[in-house]
Amino acid sequence: MKTKTSAAFFLLFLWITPFAMQGQTKETVLKLKDCIDYSLKNNPNSTIYANNVELAQQQKNEALAGYLPQINGSVAFDDNLKRQVTILPAGIFGPQETHLQFGSQYSTNASVQLDQTIYDQTVFYATAASKAGTAIADLQLLQNNENLIYNTTVAYYQVLIYSEQAKLLLQNEKKYTELLNVLKLQYERGVAKKIDYDRVKVSMNNITSQKTVLETNRQLALNRLKNAMGMDLTQPLLVEDSLNYNTQMSMPATLTFDANNRLDYKIQEKNLVIQDLDVKRKKAAFFPVLSGYARYGGQAYSNQFDMAFDSWFDYSSVGLKLSVPIFSGLRRYSQLEESKLNYANAQENMKLSINNFQLQYQNSTTQLLSSYTNLNNNKENLDLAKDVFESTSLQYQKGTASLSDFLNSDYAYKEAQSNYITSLLNFLSGRLDYEKSQGTLSTYIKQL
């Protein structure tokens, strides 16, 4: 009984193992969102810009330190090899002048001092600028994510285009295979001419060559997609090879432009704020700086080294320090004028950027409308050319159409396929450029 049970488990194991292995080796097919998620997590640029955010936060903390107490300690040990001589005039301690040496051979001074800035306008504006710098780092991280989304999507669409082209080639190959089989039978029976069979065979061979080239181009496109995602080029990658026409082939609901949606516009706004704060900081350099301090320490003196640290005398003090800038050789004035000019240039650059943003939007809108119209026309022409080709092919097989009619319809069908593929890629790229010019690329991708 025990032997039969063991044999049954062994057979069950042999039956289950192939299915388990199949589940382990099955590769996951990635959709566009999966590729984008992988890119955002694994592309080296994501790590770089995340580090820049942390760097900006540390710079902000560094700027805030200007308003926090600063505590420093110091210890000094002196060996007065030859002490300074002080000369007292004659008549004080006698008829002759007196030579005296004050101090001890060895002296030690240890102290701790706390400094606190009370009023310094430059520190205030530097702190405000660091906050704006932190906001810029956050925006640049989002901008990097947008660039990764754009580059990954463009590479993904290129793979999809080759997949669509491969489907059309497979349809052509199927039709020519059927036609060649019919022509072969007709040729063997003496109904068809050998030249007709050879001409169709040439077209069939061309399709086979196109498939080889297409597969090579698709593999290159997959490598570009892996590079955009930050994936190892040796790692296998399978992507979904179908298009969702309801979402990816549709026009945007509204065609309006708002520069405030663009991350590069927001970054320039923050840079303009930083430049304005820099002007104010340079002006603040003309104002006094008030600070306070508290010091506590101790001193030890002796003429013998072995007793140099035996007797200590402590001391303490508190005070205020007012530093008033009077004249710096026109250095502060020149720095202020330079900052004003940089701020003026930043304002003009902002105007140029707004015009460029508007230009990009107008061009992308025009391109999108044109590519959408061409896509619909070429899709309709493709369907018509396919119907004509299939009808002519059937008529040719029945002998009611000439080979020239068949080849003409075949040429028109292939040209319609090529035009459709081109217009499809143009529309997909145009939609991405439009959404990027709007600053809504991330939102658009989430809807796919």
Give 214-239 pLDDT, tens digit per residue.
999 999 999 999 999 999 999 999 99
pTM for the model stands at 0.81
* Local confidence pLDDT in tens for the 448 residues of the chain: 444 444 444 444 444 444 443 443 346 788 999 999 999 999 999 999 999 999 999 999 988 888 899 999 999 999 888 888 787 777 666 677 777 777 788 899 999 999 999 999 999 999 999 999 999 999 999 999 999 999 999 999 999 889 888 888 888 888 888 888 877 887 888 877 888 888 888 888 998 999 999 999 999 999 999 999 999 999 999 998 776 666 677 788 777 888 889 999 999 999 999 999 999 999 999 999 999 999 999 999 888 888 888 889 999 999 999 999 998 888 999 999 999 999 999 999 999 999 999 999 999 999 999 999 999 999 999 999 999 988 988 887 777 888 788 888 988 998 998 899 899 899 999 999 999 999 999 888 888 7
For the chain, domain boundaries: 27-68+120-287+331-447, 75-119+292-324
- Do residues 316 and 296 touch, judged by C-beta distance below 8 A? yes
Write the CA distances from 411 to 170, 375, 389, 400, 405, integer angstroms: 16, 20, 9, 19, 10
Q: What is the pLDDT of residue 245?
A: 63
- Residue at token pair 């499809």: 424
| Cα distance between residue 279 and residue 277, in whole Å | 5
Q: What is the pLDDT of residue 10?
A: 43
| Cα distance between residue 58 and residue 65, in whole Å | 11
Q: What is the pLDDT of residue 185?
A: 84
| Cα distance between residue 204 and residue 210, in whole Å | 10
Q: What is the pLDDT of residue 23?
A: 40
Q: What is the pLDDT of residue 297?
A: 96
Q: Report the CATH fold assignment for 27-68+120-287+331-447.
A: Outer membrane efflux proteins (OEP) (1.20.1600)
Q: What is the pLDDT of residue 16?
A: 44
Q: What is the pLDDT of residue 247?
A: 66
